[in-house]
Structure 1
Amino acid sequence: MKAAIVTIGDEILIGQIVDTNSGFIAKALDKIGVEVYEMLSISDSQEHILDTFSKLQNTVDIVIITGGLGPTKDDVTKKTFCDYFEDELVIDESVLAHVTELIEGYFKRKITQINKDQALVPSKVTVLHNRYGTAPGLWMKKEKTVFVSLPGVPFEMKYLVENEIIPKLVNEYDRPYILHKTILTYGQGESLVAERIEKWEDSLPSFLKLAYLPSFGKLRLRLTARGTDKKMLEEAIADYVDSLDSIIHDIIVGFEEEDTIEVVLGKILSKQNVTLSTAESCTGGKIAEMIASVPGASSYFRGSVVAYATEVKIHVLGVSESLIQEHTVVSAEVAKAMALNVKALLKTDYAIATTGNAGPSKGEASANVGTVYIALATPNEVVVEMFDFGQPREKVIDRAAVKGLEMLLKEISKKEL
């Protein structure tokens, strides 16, 4: 079963907002074996919408559209549906009752005609109840293709996808199984990993596909199986993951589809009942942001000192001024002192510290742009490494943050073996 996802809105095309709806819908469809064939973002033009519908007609089994269902004149999706399906708008009493209750019961104001017009739907449509908003979802079929229209508001869209669309697709359509297993690796680049696993990759059967998903400092390997025999697919993925693990065990840090390095770290830190703090200069709080993004991080993350200026390193972290004068602010010695001092200041078991030159200019230090020292303080020692992350500035910051987490992960993973 193939699907297309269409987002409608000039605000997306001019970069005013970022389309997150398509990614959510794609993941939801993938989990039930529906293959996303195409994603499109188009303008609010009725002509453009009609042209898109026509091109997708009978090319895919289902088209899911988000946006353009609001009460204002620039929202044209419902009218376009009527044109495309040769239909007319009528009042849906159940939608009107819901809108009235929402406006007058929840928002405590008198319902207006614009609000009532939200209950206008094409007469042939199957209405999808939107519990959290006034715009209902619309489900209509023409020839071999189902067209589904959803509000663009993310939390309303998510509710309709999870509670209306996915159950309806599961009940009404036969779908193949699409299974994924993602292997998380850190420390080696895409080309090097590809060389190491070349023979393994060449041995994959036709129903298994491997995708390389690289980003700063990390590489995800996604193994996808498609077919009708779920048990066979699960066994095949398990066997091939085991054989892959035997080849690159040294760089594998996890296997969960959604787990990033900060999630993996959080699980291990929680399991070991240990705590973490950070002292960041060139990364400007990036490491702390990544760690704190994980729900439940407060159980192991105590906090961070963003010592961007030299004065903060001296007066808040307690780094010796003479140490800085002797070795410069971008040095192994200063990184070590930052890690030890924040570890003592916040009373944690582990601490990560960064100091470096992210650019574009050298600033107070003589170190080349891209030079970063990362220190990891453990209960027993302090390890400091120097890296040259090159340019541009964003790359230096992202790679340094990931590398700091990688150093900690390697250290605490030793206790898991």
Structure 2
Amino acid sequence: MNKVVASIITIGDELLIGQVIDTNSAWMAQELNKYGIWVARRVAVGDVWDDIWLALDEESRRSSIILITGGLGPTADDITKPLLNKYFGGKMIIDEKALDNVKWIFERVLKRPMIDRNLRQAEVPDSCTVIPNKRGTAPGMWFEREGRIFVSMPGVPHEMKGMMTDDILPTLRERFQLPYIAHRTLLTAGIGESFLAEHIKTFEEALPASIKLAYLPNYGMVRLRLTIRGGDPNDTATAETLLQQRFDTLKGLVAEWMVTDEDISLQEAIGRLLKTHGKTLGTAESCTGGYIAHLITSIPGSSIYYKGSIVSYANEVKMHSLGVSAGTIAAHGAVSEETVREMIHGALTGLDTDYAIATSGIMGPDGGTPDKPVGTVWIAVGNRQNILAQKFSFRFDRLRNIELTATNALNLLRKFIVSPAQ
């Protein structure tokens, strides 16, 4: 079976100057990979006619599928649509269904009048098949030439994802004979990537050629993904059995550090633990400023187990809202084991939860002292029977220190729930 190859072209000056982070191509690559479509190249180009044209020429020589995002807005710098019209030798026409969609959005959703610039969103080249945009005004466009498929989508992430999920991926699956591909993923915490690789070196060396192991480190955690490709797409049971056997072996090898054996985030794993035990959680955040609360509440259904947060950035809030004593802060400082332990007591009482997390630290770039340098953090987790506190020393910039504090706080809570007597 021949490999099906795709290229991704993202368009926009804002991508090249770093004003906007390109999350579109990463998401598309992940989804294409799930379908067994190999992404050969990801290319970013600015809003420059010749550069976009050249990218289309180059990628069509290497790939059978070219996915394009960006440049479909109503302003003068959005040149993708007229360029594609000329590239495929068409003429611009009004697509009636796209026009109805634009009118509906302005009349019923936005409740404001349209101008001619908005109506032009419904113009498309007559050489394309229109892809409906159920989340916005700019329709997608599907072109074909010399056995190549070109698909143009809006750069707005949720609009692009809707088109990919509802129309583009299912159609590609019908058009190509795709190889079988499957993944198994687990998440580890508390061990570095290099040490983890050394620990499972023998396992990795013994993997069959059809299975590959990937290391995906992020914020002090390492995600391990086993992927199996190829084989008879009509006989997936054999491949699934082989993959699951190797995955079970891997889980046993890393059991000491394994957070979850699913491809989910740490905060989702915490949520599942709390729901399983029928328990609730609250947070008392100083240095993280509500970031842990943000992570927890990003998971749908978190209201079942998460009650809220007291962001006690100032010492007076720690004292008045969490009951931390002035004497504790005077004797030990806000960044101390004693303070975060009292923050736990205050959060459990004030938020009336079964578990609590507390953080206090120095995120930088200023505020450090010789005995408490920037990156010093105290984290506590606990319930009404026991509290576990731990000191961490991070060495990065402010944002990364906050992110690492949140990750370690959540993982400390996970371990506490699993083994509260430690």
TM-score by length of 2: 0.90
Q: Cα gap change, 1:305/1:149 in structure 2, threshold over 3 Å: closer, same or farther? A: same
Identity %: 43
Partner of 1:204: 207
> What is the alpha-carbon distance in structure 2 between the residues aligned to residue 109 and residue 368 of structure 1?
54
Secondary structure of residue in 2 paired with 1:58: helix
Please state if 1:284 is matched with 2:289.
Answer: yes
Q: Cα gap change, 1:20/1:383 in structure 2, threshold over 3 Å: closer, same or farther? A: same
Aligned Cα root-mean-square deviation (Å): 2.4
Which deviates further from its counterpart, 394-403 or 243-252? Answer: 394-403
Q: Which of 22, 26, 30 matches 1:27?
A: 30
Partner of 2:355: 350
Letter in 2 for 1:309: A
CA contact (8 A) 2:89 2:127 kept: no
Secondary structure of residue in 2 paired with 1:71: coil
Residues 66-111 of structure 1: CA distance to partner in whole angstroms, max 9, x if unpaired? 1222333322222222332233334445544554555567667776
1:158 is displaced (CA, Å) by 2.3
1:357 is displaced (CA, Å) by 2.4
Partner of 2:166: 163
Partner of 1:127: 130
Q: Cα gap change, 1:95/1:245 in structure 2, threshold over 3 Å: closer, same or farther? A: closer
Letter in 2 for 1:176: P
Partner of 1:246: 252
Secondary structure of residue in 2 paired with 1:124: coil
Partner of 1:145: 148
CA contact (8 A) 1:357 1:365 kept: no
> What is the alpha-carbon distance in structure 1 between the residues aligned to residue 116 and residue 99 of structure 2?
11
Partner of 1:5: 8
> What is the alpha-carbon distance in structure 2 between the residues aligned to residue 385 and residue 98 of structure 1?
55
Partner of 2:328: 323
Please state if 1:396 is matched with 2:404.
Answer: no
Residues 102-140 of structure 1: CA distance to partner in whole angstroms, max 9, x if unpaired? 556766777654445444333332222334444322111
Residues 134-167 of structure 1: CA distance to partner in whole angstroms, max 9, x if unpaired? 4322111222321111122333322221222112
Residues 281-308 of structure 1: CA distance to partner in whole angstroms, max 9, x if unpaired? 2222222222122111121112122222
Structure 2 residues not aligned, in runs of 5+? none
Secondary structure of residue in 1 paired with 2:149: strand
Residues 197-249 of structure 1: CA distance to partner in whole angstroms, max 9, x if unpaired? 01011111122111111122211111121113332332222111111112111
1:190 is displaced (CA, Å) by 0.7
Q: Cα gap change, 1:122/1:328 in structure 2, threshold over 3 Å: closer, same or farther? A: closer
> What is the alpha-carbon distance in structure 1 between the residues aligned to residue 397 and residue 158 of structure 2?
36
Letter in 1 for 2:266: I
Which deviates further from its counterpart, 323-332 or 274-283? Answer: 323-332
Secondary structure of residue in 1 paired with 2:360: strand
TM-score by length of 1: 0.91
Residues 4-46 of structure 1: CA distance to partner in whole angstroms, max 9, x if unpaired? 1111122222333333322332233222221222212211211
Letter in 2 for 1:155: H
Q: Cα gap change, 1:52/1:294 in structure 2, threshold over 3 Å: closer, same or farther? A: same
Q: Which of 173, 176, 186 matches 1:173?
A: 176
Q: Cα gap change, 1:279/1:129 in structure 2, threshold over 3 Å: closer, same or farther? A: closer
Partner of 1:405: 410
> What is the alpha-carbon distance in structure 2 between the residues aligned to residue 364 and residue 311 of structure 1?
21
> What is the alpha-carbon distance in structure 2 between the residues aligned to residue 106 and residue 379 of structure 1?
48
> What is the alpha-carbon distance in structure 1 between the residues aligned to residue 112 and residue 387 of structure 2?
62
> What is the alpha-carbon distance in structure 2 between the residues aligned to residue 302 and residue 75 of structure 1?
45
Partner of 1:335: 340
> What is the alpha-carbon distance in structure 2 between the residues aligned to residue 353 and residue 106 of structure 1?
42
Equivalent positions of 1:31-42 (< 5 A) are 31-42=34-45
Please state if 1:186 is matched with 2:189.
Answer: yes
> What is the alpha-carbon distance in structure 2 between the residues aligned to residue 185 and residue 33 of structure 1?
26
Which deviates further from its counterpart, 335-344 or 80-89? Answer: 80-89
Partner of 1:256: 262
CA contact (8 A) 1:70 1:135 kept: yes
Please state if 1:61 is matched with 2:87.
Answer: no
Which deviates further from its counterpart, 284-293 or 196-205? Answer: 284-293
Q: Which of 233, 242, 249 matches 2:239?
A: 233
Which deviates further from its counterpart, 155-164 or 204-213? Answer: 155-164
Partner of 2:382: 377
Pairs aligned (count)? 414
